[in-house]
């Protein structure tokens, strides 16, 4: 399956790879800015598009996107990972970062993709942890979570270098600056922890 993949290179021209998978809004400016911030810190960043170029801002439209692309999304993300891993600028292993929908997808692909490490933002899923270290960022109050306590327990049981962090006073989308739920302090701290984890 072909993959629509935007690649951001660091100033050095090469570095470790990180696939950053968008939330249910699509590959929007916020995700691109996040990827750019990682590339400025030395990562070769891949930004896949699971929704064939569509970007939305309303929840109903986002739900419709998920329903339309649900079956094709895993294949598109996997193909994007393979393209990034094979890029001449990538040095060493490739990790993943996912936001909500993107994180859910990457969690489901852990057994298929040779991920080095995985960072998830406000996502839970029934998975077997152990092979891939996972750092999960969670909102204190998340109405979209199915079993956030269970996911946190699983991450804590899996142990270092992965783990779970709950950010007080936050809700879903706290790390996305274009959303009204955006929490600048929590988003900044989560990003710093993400970078340290990916570099570990």
Q: CB of 80 within 8 A of CB of 46?
A: yes
Q: How many Cβ atoms from other residues are within 10 Å of residue 28's Cβ?
A: 15
Q: What is the pTM of this model?
A: 0.96
Q: What is the pLDDT of residues 96-132, one digit of tens each?
A: 999 999 999 999 999 999 999 999 999 999 998 989 9
Q: What is the pLDDT of residues 126-149, one digit of tens each?
A: 998 989 999 999 999 999 999 999
- Dihedral, CA atoms, 37, 39, 43, 49, nearest 10 degrees? 90
Separation of CA 103 from chain center: 5
Cα–Cα distance list, 64 to 17, 59, 124, 141, 159 (Å): 31, 9, 21, 24, 37
Tell me how far apart the alpha carbons of residues 87 and 83 are, in angstroms, rounded to a whole number.
6
Confidence class for position 2, pLDDT limits 50, 70, 90: very low
Asked if the model's pLDDT at residue 83 lies above 60, the reply is: yes
Provide the pLDDT for residue 130.
Answer: 86
Question: Alpha helix locations (H) across 10-88?
Answer: 29-39, 59-69, 73-85
Tell me how far apart the alpha carbons of residues 200 and 118 are, in angstroms, rounded to a whole number.
12
- 126 φ, ψ to 5°? -75, 105
Asked if the model's pLDDT at residue 81 lies above 50, the reply is: yes
Check residue 46 and report its DSSP letter. Answer: E
């Amino acid at each position: 399956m072909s993959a629509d993949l935007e690649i951001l290179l660091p100033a050095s021209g090469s570095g470790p790879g990180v696939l950053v998978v968008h939330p249910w809004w699509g590959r929007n400016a916020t995700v691109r800015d996040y990827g750019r911030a990682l590339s400025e810190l030395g990562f070769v960043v891949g930004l896949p598009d699971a929704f064939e170029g569509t970007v939305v801002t309303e929840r109903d439209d986002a739900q419709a996107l998920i329903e339309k692309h649900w079956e094709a999304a895993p294949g598109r993300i996997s193909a994007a990972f393979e393209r990034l891993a094979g890029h001449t600028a990538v040095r060493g292993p490739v990790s993943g970062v996912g936001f909500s929908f993107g994180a859910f997808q990457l969690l489901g692909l852990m057994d298929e993709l040779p991920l080095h490490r995985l960072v998830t933002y406000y996502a839970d899923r029934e998975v077997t942890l152990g092979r891939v270290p996972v750092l999960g960022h969670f909102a204190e109050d998340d109405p979209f979570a199915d079993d956030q306590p269970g996911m946190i327990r699983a991450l804590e049981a899996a142990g270092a270098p992965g783990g779970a962090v709950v950010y007080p006073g936050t809700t879903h989308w706290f790390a996305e600056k274009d959303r009204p739920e955006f929490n600048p302090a929590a988003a900044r701290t989560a990003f710093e922890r993400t970078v340290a984890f990916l570099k570990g």
